[in-house]
Structure 1
Amino acid sequence: MTLSSATLPPVRRVVTALDEAGRSCVLIDGPLREFGGGGYAWHTASVPADNSVREDAAPGAFSYDLFHGGGSNFFVIDLAPGERSSTHATDTIDYIVMMAGEVTLELEAGEVRLRAGDLVTDRGVIHAWRNDGPQPARYAVVTLPAHPVGAGRTV
C-alpha cells in the first residue's frame, strides 16, 4: 500500500527552519518521501539534533539501519487489510500514534487491538503489527535511540 492510496488521503509534511534573515519560516510543505508501505517525514543523524540543517533530511527509503545510527526517525506506515509486519525489535523507544483504521499489536505474551487516536510507547520489545480489518490502517512513528532490553534488537 502506498500513501497515495485512494482509501487514505496523502499525508502533508510541513517542516520549519530559519530563512536567510534568521526568521522562522516553512522549509518544506508537501508530501512525505514515500517508501513501500509508508513515508518519511524526517530523520536526524544524532540526538540532540542539529536544527541548523536546511536540506531535506527525510530518507528516500526505509531502512532499520537508520534506527541504530544514534539519531531520530519520524515516519508513517500504511498497513493494508490482511497485511502483517515482520516480528522485530529495535534498540529504540518508539512513540506511535494511530491515525486511521485498526491494527493488532502482537507481543510475546499477548496482543492488543489499537484504533485511531490510540497512543503506544514501544520500549524495544519484540513485536509485530497486523491489520485484521477491512480498512487500511495508518500510524505515525517517532524512534529515538535506547539501551537494549531483553535480547536486544532483531533487525
Structure 2
Amino acid sequence: MTDDFRRVVTAVDGDGHSVVDSDGLPPVVISPRHSDQFLTAIWTVDELPTSYTAPGDRDGFRLAPAAGGVNIIRNKLPPDSAVYVDADGSPRPVGDDENLHRTATVDFICVLEGELWLVLEGDDDVHLRAGDCVVQRGTVHAWRNRTDEPTTFLAVLIDADEDTLPAAPIGPEAL
C-alpha cells in the first residue's frame, strides 16, 4: 500500500498573476504505527492570520500545530487486522483503551475513502463513511479501521487554548 497523491500549491508571481508554485508529492510523510500507515503533512500554518507568502512545508513531521497555528494532515490508515497483531503477525483483539489520546486542538476530520471508527471513552464508537465529517473538541479518542481495506481521512488540527480544555492531554499525540 502506498499513499502517492498529488498536491498542488498556488502562488502569486511578481507580476500579480496566479501561478503553480509546486505540483507533486508532499515532502513529509511518516508511518508512525505501521509500515502501511501514512501521515502526510499537507500544509502547516504557524499563526493566524497567516501570510499568503508564508511557507507551509516543514522539516520533519509535527502533529500538533504551533501555538496559534493549523496543521493539515492526510492519514491513510490500514485495517486494524494489519496494525494490531501478535508476535506471530496474526491479528489480535484491540484493547479498549489502546492508542487513546487527547490533543490540545480542535480538529476537523473528513473521511475521504473507506470507513473509519471514532472510538471515544465508554461505548460511544462512531462509524464513519466516505463524506462524513467530525468536529472534535479536545476529546479522548482513537481511530480504528475495522474493515479489510485501507481508509483515508483528512485532519485539520487547530491550536486551542489549553485553559479551556476539559482535561489535560493524555498519551502520544498520534492520529
TM-score, structure 2 length as denominator?
A: 0.75
Deviation at 1:92, TM superposition (A): 1.1
Aligned structure 1 segments of 4 or more residues deviating by more than 6 angstroms: none
Q: Which residue of 1 aligns with 2:79?
A: 81
Structure 2 equivalent of residue 61 of structure 1 = 60
Kindly indicate which of the two structures has a greater share of residues assigned to strand: 1
**Amino acid paired to 1:126:** V
Match of 1:35 in 2: 30
Correspondent of 1:17 among 11, 24, 27: 11
CA offsets, 1:44-70, max 9 Å, x none? 1111112122x4x22343323x42432
Task: Tell me how far 1:136 sits from its aligned partner.
Answer: 0.2
Instruction: Return the alpha-carbon distance in structure 2 between the equivalents of residues 60 and 12 of structure 1.
Output: 19
Contact kept, 8 Å, 1:92 with 1:143, in 2: the verdict is yes
Q: Work out the number of aligned pairs and report it.
A: 146
Does structure 1 residue 144 correspond to structure 2 residue 139?
A: no
Instruction: Say if 2:116 and 2:143, in contact at 8 Å, map to a contact too.
Output: yes
Task: Sort the Cα spacing of 1:136 and 1:153 in 2 relative to 1 into closer, same or farther, 3 A.
Answer: same
Identify which of 69, 72, 82 aligns with 1:71: 69
Alignment-mate amino acid for residue 30 of structure 2? F
Q: CA deviation at 1:96?
A: 1.0
The CA distance in 2 between the partners of 1:125 and 1:67, in whole Å, is 17
Determine helix, strand or coil for the equivalent of 1:138.
Answer: strand
* Cα drift, residue 147 of structure 1: 2.3
Partner of 1:45: 46
Q: Does 1:92 align with 2:105?
A: yes
- Higher-Rg member (1/2): 2
Query: Considering only aligned residues, what root-mean-square deviation do their CA atoms show, in Å?
Result: 1.9
Counterpart Cα distance in 2 of 1:51 and 1:27: 12
Give the gaps of 5 or more residues in structure 2.
32-37, 85-97
CA distance in 1, matches of 2:119, 2:13: 45
Q: What's 2:92 paired with?
A: none
Q: Which has the larger displacement, 76-85 or 30-39? A: 76-85
- In the alignment, what sits opposite 1:6? none
Q: Is the Cα–Cα contact under 8 Å of residues 113 and 130 in structure 2 kept in the other structure?
A: yes
Structure 2 residue identity aligned to 1:45? D
Structure 1 length normalisation: TM-score?
Answer: 0.84
Deviation digits for residues 87-145 of structure 1, max 9, x if unmatched?
Answer: 11111111111011111100013110111111111111110001110000100011112
1:106 is the counterpart of 2:105: no
